[in-house]
A and B are shown apart, each in its own frame.
Chain A
Amino acid sequence: MSPRDPDARVEEFESYYGRQILKTPTWKSPDVPLYFFLGGLAGASAVLAEGAALTGRPGLERVARVAAAGGAAAGTAALVHDLGRPERFLNMLRVVKPTSPLSVGSFILTPFSACAAVAAASRVTGRFRRIGRLGGVGAAALGPPLATYTAGLIAGTAIPAWHEARRELPFVFGGSGAAAAGGLGMLCAPYDETGPALRLAVAGAVLETVATEVVTRRLGIHSEPYRTGRAGRLMKAQRRLTDAGLVLSALGVKSRLARRLAGAAFVADSLVTRFGVFEAGKESARDPKYVVVPQRERLARRTAEQSPAGV
């Protein structure tokens, strides 16, 4: 087995009666993957809302502001519901720990939710405009990290399919969030103002697709859980929805209906992506192969490096 051969693999491996080594994440579905989706939607929507406000697109601004505030509120509810002790959710704000993406994320989500809520309330009621815009700017600043930190959250575990995709997953989630925010704008905003939403959704979908391709094809054994079983089916569906969104977007240059449908496809694509990634992680925890084989290969490489050449 040469370290230069990326396909080199320890096919045979031992285990304790085939039992899993790692614990399967206890995070509930749909709570947690749904939160990943809503956080991405809300974060990218906040950016879109501020852009729409600055360029005089009030209809799009309104949709994006409501999406940012609603996504953050619903996402927070899903997150609190997932806790083993929901009444202790405020303990998340007890300490600040840069080593814990969940801790840092709590300090992104909390001010984001407040800012986005103020901005949306002001936009919908037409009152306290200045404070509303201030909230909008705050939400737009916190939005992008809100959309991508959740990828850091799952990458910061021992789950092989997540940890070994740590460079790519934030781009999957970021692109996916942009696709969702743009998609919702395409679906709900006044047709004449959907231009920025379409551009954001298409760019996000392309970013998501490229990063997803790397995760599902280029990570050796760690790509396997993304291509097989339930996660594999979800990732295939995700790809079809992205493709549909892109094709419909091209048609949507002329057709209103096609543009609305493309928006819906992008939102669905983003949602399915998070469930696919979530399931792939669970699968890679359940099979000891994903722990033992790469760790054995790592040990073999280290031994090869330490022993003098030619011996």
Chain B
Amino acid sequence: MGRLWGRLDDPTSDAGYDQHPPRMGFFTDTSVCIGCKACEVACKEWNEIPDDGYVLTGMSYDNTQELGADTWRHVAFVEKPVDVSVSSPVDLGMPGSGPPGTGGDPASDESGSDGVRWLMSSDVCKHCTHAACLDVCPTGSLFRTEYGTVVVQTDICNGCGYCVPACPYGVIDLREDDGRAFKCTLCYDRLKEGQTPACAQACPTESIQFGELDELRERADRRLEELHGKGVDAARLYGRDPEDGVGGDGAFFLLLDEPEVYGLPPDPVVTTRDIGSIWRSVGAAAATVAALGIAACAGRGRR
């Protein structure tokens, strides 16, 4: 059993590997995401993930809706009405929503999107440093790979479903007709062959960047500095901090708004941080039940 909480620079060694490759991860820079969903398609194709229905949500271009057993990359589309005069001073390459050629004077609105700000972000399993799904899995099906990623062994999983409510990001889920839990493997099979995960390979704008986590963190810091220098003050890194509630994410993000706007929890904490206090309370309550039982029977009266 490894460390459950706090900063942990090498979760792979902590999980018991003597020698291992560097920790690999994703840096998803949402400032250059164009919402093409190539990542979603590449992921589904490579991992042979079954169809999960064709549903038009009507809420936005996002008909995928959420991560789940059959969706391991999910592109969120946020359309927020904004005051054009204070919109981003930098053209982030966001597509317009108006009909072509009728946008009028392009100088009035650089993004061509008539007072609507578009945010797109390709969400994925965070491969937490302290992964609740892994810690609570009673079968040992979820494990940490030599790359520091978190993967389900489908031949072990018995579909108990404990990982599902344990995940602070709501990533992993049970596949209904199958009964077992599924989520992103960070293309464990491709990593073993020295290849890039399918989503990163397919991403046309390098919004999804794959590599050694240490290097990605440096790259992200530089990108953040660059955007702040250009006046994009809303840019912030999410899941980058090794001191956060899950010890930092193996897959982290550059966002242009608060995390909850993208459907991400603003301050996630791994549930097993509190496992000690949970066991203490369970033990104290059990002792109370035992004491009540003894006291109840100790009475001499037949009634």
Contacts and interface: CB of A to CB of B under 8 A. Distances in A.
Nearest to A15: B260
Contacts of B172: 23
B279 A296 contact: no
Interface stretch (B41-49, B137-145, B214-222, B223-231): B137-145
Nearest to B179: A84
Q: Point out which of B59, B164, B293 has the most chain A C-beta atoms below 10 A from its C-beta.
A: B293
Given A20-B170, A100-B138, A170 B299 contact: no
A225 interface: no
Given A48-B293, A158-B132, A85 B179 contact: yes
A72 B155 CA distance: 28
Interface of A: 13-17, 19-27, 43-44, 47-48, 50-52, 54-55, 57, 82-86, 88-89, 91-92, 94-95, 97-103, 106, 140, 143-145, 147-149, 151-153, 155-159, 162-163, 166-171, 173-175, 177-178, 182, 191-200, 203-204, 207, 253, 281, 285, 288, 291-292, 295-296, 298-299
Contacts of A16: 76, 78, 260-263
A85 B159 contact: yes
A263 to B, nearest CB: 13
A21 to B, nearest CB: 5
Given A195-B303, A295-B267, A22 B167 contact: yes
A76 B285 CA distance: 22
Interface in B26-52: none
Contacts of B169: 21
Q: 7 tightest CB-CB pairs across the interface, nearest first?
A: A84-B159, A84-B179, A51-B297, A16-B263, A47-B293, A170-B285, A88-B158
Contacts of B161: 25-27, 82, 84
Given A91-B157, A153-B162, 14 more contacts: A14-B260, A22-B170, A22-B265, A44-B289, A84-B157, A85-B157, A92-B138, A95-B140, A99-B272, A166-B281, A175-B288, A200-B297, A204-B289, A207-B288
Contacts of A85: 157-159, 179-180
A48 B285 contact: no
A164 to B, nearest CB: 10
A169 B275 CA distance: 14
Contacts of B93: none
B286 A17 contact: no
Given A54-B297, A158-B168, A298 B303 contact: no
A135 B262 CA distance: 55
11 contacts: A23-B171, A97-B138, A98-B275, A101-B275, A102-B162, A156-B271, A158-B132, A174-B288, A178-B292, A199-B295, A207-B292
A197 B296 contact: yes
Interface in B135-185: 135-141, 156-162, 164-174, 178-181
Contact of A83 (B170, B178, B179): B179
The majority secondary structure among interface residues of chain A is helix
B287 to A, nearest CB: 7
Given A84-B179, A100-B162, A102-B162, A14 B258 contact: yes
A64 to B, nearest CB: 10
B296 A203 contact: yes
Contact of A285 (B159, B165, B284, B299): B165
Contacts of A156: 136, 166, 271-272, 274-275, 278
A21 B264 CA distance: 6
B285 A157 contact: no
A291 B160 contact: no
A200 B260 contact: no
Given A84-B178, A98-B1, A158-B132, A196 B299 contact: yes
Contact of B282 (A82, A97, A151): A151
Given A288-B260, A299-B266, A170 B180 contact: no
Given A94-B139, A193-B302, A174 B165 contact: no
A193 B167 CA distance: 48
Contacts of A101: 136, 275, 278, 282
B206 interface: no
Interface in B166-211: 166-174, 178-181
A284 to B, nearest CB: 10
Contact of A51 (B166, B296, B302): B296
A111 to B, nearest CB: 15
A163 B285 contact: no
A240 B292 CA distance: 23
Contacts of A175: 288-289
Nearest to B121: A16
Contact of B136 (A14, A24, A99): A99
Q: Point out which of A158, A166, A296 has the most chain B C-beta atoms below 10 A from its C-beta.
A: A158
Contacts of A197: 296
Nearest to B141: A91
A175 B296 CA distance: 13
Contacts of A14: 258, 260-261
Given A27-B161, A197-B296, A295-B265, A95 B167 contact: no
A74 B4 CA distance: 34
B66 interface: yes
Contacts of A92: 138-139, 158, 160
